[in-house]
Structure formats: structure tokens, C-alpha cells
Structure 1
């Protein structure tokens, strides 16, 4: 039996929240029109069936500001989830960065974590690029050190709403995609490592998904097998 818990967020806030996350998911252009329609339908029918999301139009700065003007904690948690969705595929793009900073400006937030994340957009000078595995591993270690405050900031996100929990369980992959070789005419042309080796905050994504599942199962009494 599913229990009814009082969410700290209003229906209006959650509608803006989920629309904002969908904007981030589509920001890098990896979703075509049919995929966007499918995700919108999934959001409306499975994640938040009792909430009116309208036509899921792009969020405006005024809507964001109005939704969270008296809830700075909610605004910060919205930004945390937006960052999670942005980096779920292991790539932080320029379009995602621009959109997130627009969100920050609208909400009056200036998290240091986002400024640090922006450093991952800076191209590596050619002189520093090397195929040597040891140098590549060292570069990944340096990146993890730089992004440590980002990971700490993201780990501060707690789940208190079933609609948000369902959305995160759907958007974050259930497991790290397998590594694979791309071959052409029987010859390997590139090796793609698993997502968990590419994404410096993969552990935060896994942790967030686990907290969302736990909230749905333990606090809301929902069957989480569809997300596993």
C-alpha cells in the first residue's frame, strides 16, 4: 500500500522543476522531436500523472523566479538535479552550461560548484594531450580533485518528493553502460570505455538514484521494480 507523504514543494514548483529538467535533458540536442514527445508523455503519464504540466513549454526566467522566490533551498536543490541531468551522459556541453547559468541568474543563485564544473569545458592544450595511459589516468585524477567540491555539493541533495524521485529513476541509467569496441570491416577503430570511467561524478549519480529508489520504496511504499 502506498503511503501519502506531504511534499515540501507545491504542485506549481514541481511542474516548473520537471519542465526545467526536461529542458536540460534536451539542451545538447541529443533528443529528436519523437524522443521529446515520448519523454513528455512518460513524464505526464507515469512520473506525475496527477500534475498538470501543460504542453511542457520551455521554462522562462520569470517562471523559475516566481516558483522559488521564497524557497532558496528548493532553488538550490533544483539546480543540483539540473546538474545531475546535464552530466548523466558523461558529457557537460556548452549548451547545457549556458542553460544552467541562465537558471542560476533567474534564481539568484551562484553556486561555486557550477563555476568549477565549467572548467571541464576548457579544451586541453595539444601539448598536454597524450595517448599514454599513465598520463591519461593522471589527468583524470586531477579532474576529480578539481571537481571534489562539485561532488560534495551534489551529495547534499535529499529526496522529499515522489514525483521528483520517479523522474530521477527514469532519467539516470540503472547501471553503467558496458564498454565496447567499435569495429569496421573486422578491425577495431575505437574503444569506448564504460560511462563510469568517463563521468567524474558518476558515483553521485548512482547515489542520487539509490536515494530516490529508497524514498519511493521505504517512505512511499511504492513498487520500484519497474526502475530496476
Structure 2
């Protein structure tokens, strides 16, 4: 039986984008640490790509839906998992439930198993959280496989490229001291010192911008602001 290319009035491309954003939303709220900024980012991207829909309209996808839209062992499936790993590791730590979702998606889509295994074998804190920091020499090669894997992201879908550009900051946030009543409470180092994947994030953002420039230039559209 042939499968209709339309779901809920969306063509196949729009349905895939909706599924992609729904899965990233599922990952973002998994550990309960869903900041207003993250929520607004996803909401804005959803409105931009699929007008008329809100985060409340997103149904978190099951394994059959992921396989249907991304395939098994395909470059598209790998790009999806890469973007999920990127979102999960952006703040430098990985909660047990985030890691479980990544493991599940890797198993279902049959991509990225070696990288997920590296993360599963990473040392954890007392609450089971994996803290990924570049200022430790205990496991210097831990993220080498993840780095190479993320360096391979070449987003073909302009919608995904645009989302990643907005997700990744254009500049490294500067280090600063947080003071209260004139007393230094905490020192926050620059993001490039906190997150060892920062170079991968910056390089990926550049590739996404190049992709968008090529697509929008050929379509005669103004560049991304």
C-alpha cells in the first residue's frame, strides 16, 4: 500500500521538519532543565518553518515515525542524531535521561553507535550526570570520536542549518565575575574553556551559514540576519 506524502496537511519535507523539531523539543525538556531561551528558540523556529503550529502541537515521535521519516542507517538519520548530540552537549553536561534518549535513537536508526558508546563509558557524577569539561586531564581523548563525528555534519536541509545557526552563539561568551553587594560570588570562565566541543560548534555554525548563503543566494532571497 502506498504511503501518502501528506500528514496533517504537511508535505513530506514539512512533516520531516516537524518531526525533527519535535524530537529536539523532547530532548530539551527531558531533564527538566528547559530554559526560557531554549523554549523561545524552538518556538520561533517552529513558527518560521511551519506557521500556525506551536510547541503544544508537537507530538513527541516514536521509533516508527523516526524510521519512516529518516530511514535506517541513512545520512539523514545520522544528521538528525548529530544535531541531537549537539543540542544535548551544548552546555557541557549530559544527564542520564538525555543520554538514554540518544542511545535509543542511535539504536533505532542504527547510526552513531560508536560515539554513543563512548559517552556511555564516560565517568559520571553522583547523580549519574556526565560532565564534559576541557579543563581536566583525566580522560584527554574521551571526546575525540565525538569531535570527529560532529565535524562531519554537513546540513543539507536549510531549515536544520538555520536552526543550528540560531542555536550556536556567534561569539564565545566572555568570562565574567558574578558579584552580589560588591562581593564576588562566582567566576564564570568563557564558554570555550567550559565546553571542549566549542571549536566544533563554531565550525559547524560557519558551515551552516555557507549552506544558507548558497541556498538563499540561488533563490534570490536576502541572507540570514
**SS of residue matched to 1:145:** coil
Q: Is the contact made by 2:176 and 2:188 (CA closer than 8 Å) also made in structure 1?
A: yes
The one of 192, 200, 207 aligned to 2:203? 207
Q: Which residue of 2 aligns with 1:89?
A: 91
1:1-228 equivalences under 5 Å are 10-31=13-34, 38-46=40-48, 48-49=49-50, 55-69=57-71, 72-123=74-125, 140-221=136-217, 222-226=221-225
CA spacing shift, 1:38–1:198, aligned 2, 3 Å: closer
What displacement does 1:93 show?
2.1
- Provide the aligned C-alpha RMSD in A: 2.9
1:71-93 per-residue CA deviation (whole Å, 9 max, x = no partner) reads 62211111111111111222222
Unaligned 5+ segments in structure 1 are 1-8, 125-135
**SS of residue matched to 2:136:** helix
CA spacing shift, 1:187–1:76, aligned 2, 3 Å: same
Aligned residues: 204
CA spacing shift, 1:103–1:157, aligned 2, 3 Å: same
Q: What is the distance in 2 between the residues matched to 1:193 and 1:174?
A: 17
Q: What is the distance in 2 between the residues matched to 1:83 and 1:224?
A: 27
CA spacing shift, 1:219–1:141, aligned 2, 3 Å: farther
Q: TM-score, normalised by structure 1?
A: 0.76
Q: Is the contact made by 2:78 and 2:111 (CA closer than 8 Å) also made in structure 1?
A: yes
What displacement does 1:112 show?
1.0
CA spacing shift, 1:158–1:144, aligned 2, 3 Å: farther
What displacement does 1:50 show?
6.5
Q: TM-score, normalised by structure 2?
A: 0.77
Q: What is the distance in 2 between the residues matched to 1:50 and 1:188?
A: 45
1:156-184 per-residue CA deviation (whole Å, 9 max, x = no partner) reads 11121111111111112222222111223
Q: Is the contact made by 2:147 and 2:200 (CA closer than 8 Å) also made in structure 1?
A: yes
Q: Is the contact made by 1:68 and 1:75 (CA closer than 8 Å) also made in structure 2?
A: yes
Q: Is the contact made by 2:14 and 2:50 (CA closer than 8 Å) also made in structure 1?
A: no
Which structure exhibits the higher relative contact order, with contacts defined as CA atoms closer than 8 Å and separated by 6 or more residues? 1
Q: What is the distance in 1 between the residues matched to 2:19 and 2:54?
A: 8
